[in-house]
Amino acid sequence: MNTPLLQFVWRGEIVTLQHVPPTRTLLQLLREDLGHSATKEGCNEGDCGACTVVLGELQGEHINYRAVNSCIKMAHAVDGMALWTAADLTAADGTAHPVQQALHQCHASQCGFCTPGFAMSLFALYQNQVIKGQALSRTQAQEALSGNLCRCTGYRPILEAARQMVTLPRVHQDEARLRELLARIAPGKSEPATPPVYAAPTHLRALLAARAEQPQAQLVAGCTDVGLWVNKMHMDLAQVLDVTRVAELMTIEVQDGHTVIGAAVSLNDAFAALEVNRPQLHAFFSRFAGLPVRNAGTLGGNVANGSPIGDSMPLLIALRASVVLLSLRGQRELPLEALYTGYRKNVMAADEVLAFIRVPRPQPGELLQVYKVSKRTEDDISAVCLAINVQLQDGQVTQASIGAGGVAATPVRAVQTEVALQGQVWTQDTVDRAITTLRDEFQPISDMRASAAYRSAVLGNLMTRFWLESQGVPGVSLDGLALEGENT
């Protein structure tokens, strides 16, 4: 088996490993291969956060710190990065890190099983914000801990610890030394002559060549879904082609009135770019899984996956986004909703790669909201996701775009409802007709998340909510959360 060397920085040294299988997860590598028990295995599917670690990646002259779930992170995906676990925070002389001191002082641990994960999420927050002298709000701490579950202590003392660590003497990483080590193991200095079983090209041309040569290889980005195939379905992937190191796909650019997001851009970074011009989307984005998942997953991976309950696609459909598919034969661009042909099936040829998502920037008169209805407010799968984008001029609908998730085998555009709105005066009567059309347009199924009847009812309710918000009705929240009674 032609497995590449795996190199990463851990505890101030370069770790070099050989013969690591392509489906070995980082958690398995730590606990089983390296005998490191401080990182815990909880749900093994990226939901509980007990296995959270922090990765450091060199970006120019700076190091970017990200908390990720090690249980669904492929080991080879950390090649060229730095790694910290909960056992790596204490100084060489035994002095506890401010994160550890704060958790102790605030009595923020009982059984202790989830504590390593909380410590690592707080460590990432510490490195990205506290160490830079930035203020830390309770809301920011909550978002940083959104991927960590605790069933013992409860969140109050943990959130108090997040605030407490700001007041303690600063502890800095030796980033000069870290940059030196990371530069030594930077991946992609040469592309291998023989395709390895885990390939991570660093340039687009090499990716397309590898895809043409290995059309059977499993494309991966953040592995937040493929990791579940490995852990829960015990799938053995013979060949893996990782797109997250391709320089051209890690970019966010503004081109011709569009925000163009590379397929390897993390969900968190992609959402931040979209939020710049549409700040009302922040609450919706913060409900997309937990932060460690958003740090690992990519927008391109979420779109290519094509899950009918993937929350980014209804929004992108409402924004009239398009996708760019590339191969050595050339490129083609199509509306995002045209990518899908059935449940988790798409039009991509065997040698094609989804490379970019092009999102039109907002125009004057745009009314946009996106709603996620789920049983839990955070860290849950949608029963229904609905994004509504209406362009108004002099009180008339000049354009309507509506994307829906959870109501069909694929993410879908509500074409009939758009037609019902197009050219109409924006009134209650217009909205009432659109509600009837929207409820009749899809035939959702019943499952553990919601019944078909509930989903149809909610579609109309959300359209009503959108109308009320557009009229500035007092008491109607604009934060994208479900109306009272919707989360049942």
- The parts of the chain modelled with pLDDT lower than 70 are 1, 188-193, 474-488
- Rounded to two decimals, the pTM is 0.94
Asked if CATH classification 3.40.50.150 holds for the domain at 98-167, the reply, yes or no, is no
Helices marked H in 242-290: 267-275, 282-286
In this predicted structure, what is the pLDDT of residue 294? 96
Residue boundaries of the structural domains of the chain: 98-167, 366-470
In this predicted structure, what is the pLDDT of residue 482? 38
Q: Strand pairing of 82-84 and 6-10?
A: parallel
CB atoms within 10 A of CB 408: 16
In this predicted structure, what is the pLDDT of residue 473? 86
Return the closest-CA partner of residue 39 out of 4, 84, 91: 84
Distance CA 387, CA 371 (A): 6
At position 465, the amino acid (one-letter code) is R
In this predicted structure, what is the pLDDT of residue 193? 57
According to CATH, what is the number of the domain 366-470?
Answer: 3.30.390.50
CB atoms within 10 A of CB 277: 13
Burial degree of 80 (CB within 10 A; 0-12, 13-18, 19+): buried
Contact 337, 315 (CB under 8 A): no
Return the closest-CA partner of residue 316 out of 393, 370, 381: 370
Tokens of 250: 């890690």
Burial degree of 13 (CB within 10 A; 0-12, 13-18, 19+): exposed
E strand segments, 170-229 = 198-199, 218-220
Distance CA 49, CA 47 (A): 6
Contact 106, 119 (CB under 8 A): no
Return the closest-CA partner of residue 433 out of 405, 410, 400: 400
pLDDT tens digits for range 133-187: 999 999 999 999 999 998 788 899 999 999 999 999 999 999 999 999 999 999 8
Give pairs for 471-480: CB < 8 Å, separation 24+: 478/280, 478/369, 479/283, 480/280, 480/281, 480/283, 480/284, 480/287, 480/369, 480/370, 480/371, 480/372
At position 96, the amino acid (one-letter code) is A
pLDDT tens digits for range 259-307: 999 999 999 999 999 999 999 999 999 999 999 999 999 999 999 999 9
Distance CA 248, CA 264 (A): 9
At position 293, the amino acid (one-letter code) is V
Distance CA 229, CA 69 (A): 15
Distance CA 211, CA 467 (A): 46
Decide: helix, strand or coil at residue 350. Answer: coil
In this predicted structure, what is the pLDDT of residue 3? 85
Residue partners of 356: CB distance under 8 A and separation at least 6: 249, 260, 261, 262, 263, 300, 323, 324
For the chain, give the longest Cα–Cα distance.
72
Return the closest-CA partner of residue 43 out of 240, 264, 290, 285: 290
- Counting residues of the chain whose pLDDT is more than 90, the rounded percentage is 91
In this predicted structure, what is the pLDDT of residue 195? 78
Q: Strand pairing of 366-373 and 258-262?
A: unpaired
